[in-house]
Structure 1
Amino acid sequence: MKVADLIGAARAASLRIATAESCTGGLVAAAITDVAGASDVFERGFVTYSNAAKVEMLAVRPQTLARDGAVSEAVAVEMAEGALAHSAANLAVAVTGIAGPGGSVHEPEGRVCFALARKGAATRAETREFGALGRAGVRKAATRHALALLAASIGV
């Protein structure tokens, strides 16, 4: 999937995109804005690496963070929905995970949770286990997957 195709499809569908990123640190937004014409569809990106940033910028509930942890589908959903609520976008993707090195039994390296929120539709979430690809590898795989989720949601 080419990012230019994602941008073209979003433009044709009159969609505006926002990103809410933790472990990818803005790589999804960078991949979109690397393509000429992205300003037609890219509304904004939130890099919420810390839990405080997730709460302050995206209205992730502290209770959700305490109950489920930052690397959870519940937090990814609140991040994606928060990105919609705090922007003029009508489509948002969220990414939160453990890029490594290391991890824990409960949150192993390579576990990344994603959510896709679209105005007027139910928010979807999923978890991918990319494995111990190394920090750069996990971030790259998570970025590709987030872009693929956006593309699939608009039929690319």
Structure 2
Amino acid sequence: MSLARDVLEACKSRGLMVATAESCTGGMVAAALTDIAGSSAVVERGFVTYTNAAKREMLKVREATLQAHGAVSEPVAREMAAGAFAHSHAQIAVSITGIAGPGGSEHKPEGRVCFALAMAGAPVTSETVEFGALGRAQVRQAACDHALGLLLRAAQSQP
């Protein structure tokens, strides 16, 4: 079974809908889920917010947060997840923002990806994963898989 299929089954059995807020993955999480027939029972919507303007306009990420921390940061990931949750009818929202490469900087290296998860009745959680300089496609796929894992664990934690 695929991770995406596991997410769909876990969410469907619990009556949960999912929203995604994606930057460096460009919609890969939503695509992985919607590649599977029957995903409309679980996937509520996806936001691809590649630019800071899109993050501000679509997810209400604050300019002050972007200025203080940069787009690739846990505070921005948390605001992205909270925004996706608030602007959808989903019970779980996941966000992803990172540096897929090539390149990066001394302070934000290639392969750094920040994730956040928003759910009803729980604080927004976030984490950073250093995938390393695997190459753009591999970082994006690793980030997609990690986000699917977060969704699966979140769904499984629900009654």
| TM-score normalised to structure 2 length | 0.96
TM alignment of 1:22-33, pairs within 5 A: 22-33=23-34
> Quick one: which amino acid aligns to residue 121 of structure 1?
A
Unmatched 5+ stretches in structure 2: none
Partner-residue secondary structure (3-state), 1:154: helix
> Quick one: which amino acid aligns to residue 94 of structure 1?
S
Matched with 2:46 is: 45
> Quick one: which amino acid aligns to residue 65 of structure 1?
L
Cα distance in 1, alignment partners of residues 126 and 69 from structure 2: 14
1:76 matched to 2:54: no
TM alignment of 1:1-156, pairs within 5 A: 2-155=3-156
Q: Percent identity?
A: 63
Partner-residue secondary structure (3-state), 2:156: coil
Give the Å deviation of 1:56: 0.1
Unmatched 5+ stretches in structure 1: none
Over residues 117-144 of structure 1, what are the superposed CA-to-partner deviations in whole Å (9 max), with x where a residue is unaligned? 0011111100000000111010000000
| TM-score normalised to structure 1 length | 0.98
Give the Å deviation of 1:5: 1.8
Cα distance in 1, alignment partners of residues 95 and 3 from structure 2: 19
Give the Å deviation of 1:29: 0.4
